[in-house]
Amino acid sequence: MPLPPTTRWRHGRPIRGPIFWLPTPCSWQGWLTTPAISALVGWVSRIGTGIVHIAPPAIRVPELVGDLLAWLENTGEHPLVAGCVFHYEFEFIHPFLDGNGRMGRLWQTLVLSRWQPIFALLPVESVVRERQGEYYTALARSDQEASSTVFIEFMLGAILQATHALAIGTDQVTDQVTDQVRRLLRVMGEVPQSAVQLMEKLGLSHRPTFRQNYLHPALAAGLIEMTHPDTPQARNQQYRLTPAGKRIAE
């Protein structure tokens, strides 16, 4: 198929090449992340002291986003594949300071739901959050290979998992929700709550048990969601019921 515009641009103007990873600080790393230089090379993403992604320069963003939208409108690829490619390429452009992952997943959901409306109900967002390590690994491998194939395979697997999770919200399989998850849903209430607050309401003191038997299954099933999905380990992270979770909690 024709290459998406950002892939063609990346091949023609290799501003970053493979993933940049610096395990220790170095003299030019601080210089590279100064505001003036960042404006020229694009947004610099970091983990600790390592640089993991340098986005295209800001001046190129409008053109790249426009080309990507045009590609999406005219591509003959199956929506399952086109949505994954758009998601990956949008992440690469990185047009916003924060929220690029959420926006990419939102666009993928839009592409899928236009093809089949049922996809609007799939908890793909929750599945990706539960597999964030794999998600970022797939992005990194696709960057290194200058191809979105690895990322497409990962996302299709996440979508398949989401189709299984969707069944939990139906009457036929409501009984499959564990007693622990039911207890969690019933104490959630209308206001978002932290993990500590939920553990107190459940009378639990062992955090690993809470995560393994209560929190993670409810997140994976799309019954609850994070208030800060892009930063799962945020100190102010809280959780709230999704529409599917509210139906079961009633």
pLDDT at 7 over 70: no
pLDDT digits (tens, 9 = 90+) for 181-197: 999 999 998 999 999 99
Torsion-angle region of 217 (φ positive above 0: left; ψ -120 to 50: alpha; else: beta): alpha
Q: How far is CA 53 from CA 38, 56, 89, 117, 188, in A?
A: 12, 10, 13, 34, 37
Rounded to 5°, angle at Cα 172 from 168 and 176: 50
Q: What rounded mean pLDDT belongs to the chain?
A: 75
Pick the more confident residue, 202 or 4: 202
pLDDT digits (tens, 9 = 90+) for 130-156: 788 899 899 988 888 888 899 999 999
- pLDDT at position 170 is 52
- pLDDT at position 204 is 93
pTM: 0.54
Cα–Cα distance, 125 to 211 (Å, whole number): 18
Rounded to 5°, angle at Cα 93 from 87 and 98: 85
Rounded to 5°, angle at Cα 228 from 225 and 233: 100
pLDDT at 9 over 90: no
**DSSP-assigned beta bridge partners for residue 54:** 44
Cα–Cα distance, 42 to 213 (Å, whole number): 42
Q: What structural domains and CATH numbers belong to the chain?
A: 5-57 (no CATH), 59-168 (1.10.3290.10), 170-249 (1.10.10.10)
Residue type, 10: R
